[in-house]
């Protein structure tokens, strides 16, 4: 796999990700606590070459400066995500990884600088880091620098692009609450019921889904109606 997940146990239940770039070098996505990243690097005998940013919210960039100072890593991201970007990433750009390619996808809406990262192995889609665009059984909000009209178009486009087998790597562990929201709208959704039971049994941290599952339990991916997605997001904000 290209991607390794780190649960930070932060107040917002953030995830960080390590991306294998090859030759023992890795990128870390949206680091908060440098100590956790450094522990992972030592345990796995890897060198931090890149800090990769999905967007500029504080809970996604808090550890950037310290890691750059410690490792001399470059910062890659959207031009508006941080005070200094060494490599500005563009929509559709493809970057080589240890196992294939990573495609940069501009996904504005949660914030206007948000990026997602879609991974390919042998030309096949395998994983996507969506951070605060798509969560397990939900999507991000637009409360802090976002735009709902733009976000809906982003969600529709991403839902069209990403294939069923692709593993979802979100920015936060929100799956249990999101499934409860799904069931508040669709109380007879058996897939959501079964998944919630599985989460209760196995625990929510590091629980993994793919887009085939998401299209059965994530209300925002189950419709192509623009107004319906807006209504659902507004309901979720108040729920």
Calculate Rg over the CA atoms of the chain.
17
Residue 201, both tokens = 């049994």
Q: Is the pLDDT confidence value at 181 over 90?
A: yes
The CATH homologous superfamily to which domain 3-238 belongs is Ribonuclease Z/Hydroxyacylglutathione hydrolase-like (3.60.15.10)
Domain boundaries, the chain: 3-238
- What is the Cα–Cα distance from 128 to 208, expressed in whole angstroms? 12
Q: What is the reported pTM?
A: 0.97
- Summarised one tens digit per residue, pLDDT across range 73-126 is 999 999 999 999 999 999 999 999 999 999 999 999 999 999 999 999 999 999
Q: Taking a C-beta distance cutoff of 8 angstroms, is the pair 69, 75 a contact? A: no
Q: What is the DSSP string of 7-48?
A: E---TT-BEEEEEEEETTEEEEES-S-HHHHHHHHHHHT-EE
Instruction: For Cα atoms 87, 88, 92, give the angle at the middle one, nearest 5 degrees.
Output: 115
- Assigned token pair, 41: 């690097």
- Give residue 49's pLDDT: 98
145-177 pLDDT, tens digit each: 899 999 999 999 999 999 999 999 999 999 999
CA-nearest of 108, 115, 60 to 93 is 115
Return d(Cα 60, Cα 181) in angstroms, integer. Answer: 25
Higher pLDDT, 1 or 204: 204
pLDDT of residue 2 exceeding 80, the answer is: yes
Confidence of residue 1 (pLDDT cuts 50, 70, 90): confident
**Burial profile 191-205: b = 16 or more Cβ within 10 angstroms, e = fewer:** ebbebbeebeeeebe
Instruction: Name the band, by pLDDT with cuts 50, 70 and 90, for residue 234.
Output: very high
Mean pLDDT (whole number) for 54-76: 97
Q: In the prediction, which pLDDT does 105 show?
A: 98
């Amino acid at each position: 796999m290209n991607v390794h997940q780190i649960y930070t146990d932060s107040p917002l239940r953030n995830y960080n990700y390590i991306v294998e770039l090859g030759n023992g070098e890795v990128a870390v996505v949206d680091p908060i606590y440098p100590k956790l990243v450094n522990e992972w690097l030592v345990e796995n005998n890897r060198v931090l070459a890149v800090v990769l940013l999905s967007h500029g919210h504080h809970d996604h960039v808090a550890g950037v400066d310290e890691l750059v100072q410690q490792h001399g890593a470059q910062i890659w991201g959207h031009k508006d995500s941080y005070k200094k970007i060494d490599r500005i990433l563009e929509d559709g750009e493809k970057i080589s990884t240890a196992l294939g390619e990573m495609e940069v996808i501009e996904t504005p809406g949660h914030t206007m600088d948000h990026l997602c990262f879609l991974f390919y192995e042998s030309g096949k889609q395998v994983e996507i880091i969506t951070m605060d665009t798509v969560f397990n059984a939900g999507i991000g909000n637009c409360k802090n620098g976002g735009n709902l009209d733009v976000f809906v178009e982003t969600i529709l486009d991403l839902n069209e692009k990403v294939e069923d087998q692709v593993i979802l790597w979100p920015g936060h562990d929100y799956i249990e609450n999101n499934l409860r929201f799904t069931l508040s709208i669709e109380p007879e959704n058996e897939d959501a019921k079964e998944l919630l039971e599985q989460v209760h049994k196995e625990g929510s941290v590091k629980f993994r889904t793919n887009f085939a599952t998401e299209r059965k339990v994530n209300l925002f991916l189950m419709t192509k109606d623009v107004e319906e997605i807006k209504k659902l997001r507004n309901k979720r904000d108040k729920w």
